[in-house]
């Protein structure tokens, strides 16, 4: 083996470890060296895409994925990495195609994991279950994916089992603890949940954010709309944008459109590219006769989100038609 080949082999090994262990500054330097030593090989180009994924440069990763699929369509690794890139930009059908192709060329547990996650996103829940169960016993990382899947399948008790399995091996995982609390609130009897939250509110204690969706849903479903409105109006300024959006969807689905609009607006700043979110917000505004208010919201935010100019114009046209 030549000295040049030995250098390339060492660079590849070190680069793989740097990316895997999230030493991204080191990975950047190693990738630069590898591109000088071996610029055109499948392995180097694959590392370029791997690095873009690791550093969350999703637009560049998508462009790179398109290019590498044309150059190396028979590479299981390129198909896998391209699938990861497409997944992150929410092109789930393309991700599914790539991950299936990668599996057919050379099956690997990571490919199966991301295939299962993609199937879940596409609503292929039975297929996702079969895919993820096949690798769950050997790889604990899949526990979270199965928990999410069973939650999508409206089986919170089963989802909780996988979170508990994870916590039995990683008891200090704060994120998993948060998920466990949220799932427990879904399983808890509505009356008991309401009592727990009401007690915290009476004591002026902070209610864990994981308990809020089930609590609000129970109020609305049990005909306690007045209490739901009082709760939201009193506390909505304390909700972060993610929580506001989550609660907004519950209100929207249960036709509490005035509350949904309040909560959606609270979470709007970071959702201006989310077409589904904006459509629901506009629908809520029409239902509760607050379209003019939403137009003003769009007008104030449009300078930082050009998409809103067009949507504002459409709402203005709708208003003119509604007044005829």
pLDDT digits 0-9 by tens, 201-233: 665 666 676 777 777 788 788 787 888 888 787
- Which tops the pLDDT comparison, 267 or 76? 76
Q: Which residue has the tokens 């990683």?
A: 170
State how far the alpha carbon of 166 is from the alpha carbons of 12, 93, 148, 149, 171, in Å: 32, 30, 13, 15, 8
pLDDT computed for residue 20 by the predictor:
86
Distance of CA 118 to the CA centre of its chain: 11
Distance of CA 206 to the CA centre of its chain: 26
Are 231 and 218 in contact by the 8 Å Cβ rule? The answer is no
Question: What is the pTM (predicted TM-score) of this model?
Answer: 0.68
With residues binned 3-state (H G I as helix, E B as strand, rest as coil), the percentages for the chain, rounded to 5, are 80, 0, 20
Report the alpha-carbon distance of residue 66 to residue 208 in Å, rounded. Answer: 43
- 145-159, 167-181, 185-199 — which one is most confidently predicted on average? 145-159
54-87 pLDDT tens trace: 999 999 999 999 999 999 999 999 999 999 999 9
Question: Is residue 236 scored above 50 in pLDDT?
Answer: yes
Give 201's contacts (C-beta < 8 A, 6+ positions apart). 207
DSSP H helical ranges for 55-141: 58-71, 76-88, 92-105, 109-121, 125-136
């Amino acid at each position: 083996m030549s000295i040049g080949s030995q250098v390339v082999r060492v660079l590849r090994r070190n680069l793989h470890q740097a990316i895997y262990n999230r030493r991204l500054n080191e990975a950047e330097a190693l990738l630069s060296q590898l591109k000088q030593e071996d610029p055109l090989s499948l392995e180097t180009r694959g590392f370029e895409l791997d690095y873009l994924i690791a550093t969350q440069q999703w637009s560049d990763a998508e462009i790179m994925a398109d290019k590498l699929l044309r150059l190396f369509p028979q590479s299981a690794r390129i198909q896998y990495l391209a699938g990861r890139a497409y997944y992150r930009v929410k092109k789930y059908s393309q991700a599914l195609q790539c991950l299936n192709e990668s599996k057919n060329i050379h099956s690997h547990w990571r490919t199966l994991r991301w295939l299962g996650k993609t199937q879940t996103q596409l609503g292929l829940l039975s297929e996702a279950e079969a895919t993820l169960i096949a690798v769950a016993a050997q790889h604990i990382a899949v526990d979270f994916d199965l928990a999410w899947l069973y939650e999508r399948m409206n089986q919170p008790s089963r989802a909780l089992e996988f979170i508990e399995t994870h916590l039995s091996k990683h008891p200090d995982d704060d994120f998993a603890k948060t998920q466990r609390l949220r799932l427990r609130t879904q399983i808890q009897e509505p009356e008991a949940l309401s009592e727990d939250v009401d007690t915290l509110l009476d004591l002026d204690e902070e209610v864990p954010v994981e308990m809020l969706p089930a609590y609000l849903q129970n109020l609305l479903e049990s005909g306690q709309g007045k209490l739901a409105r009082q709760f939201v109006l009193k506390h909505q300024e304390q909700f972060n944008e993610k929580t506001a959006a989550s609660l907004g969807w519950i209100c929207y689905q249960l036709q509490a459109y005035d509350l949904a609009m309040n909560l959606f607006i609270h979470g709007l700043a970071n959702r201006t590219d989310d077409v589904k979110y904006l459509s629901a917000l506009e629908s809520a505004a029409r239902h509760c006769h607050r379209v003019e208010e939403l137009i003003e919201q769009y007008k104030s935010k449009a300078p930082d989100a050009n998409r809103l100019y067009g949507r504002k114009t459409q709402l203005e046209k709708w208003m003119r038609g509604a007044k005829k």
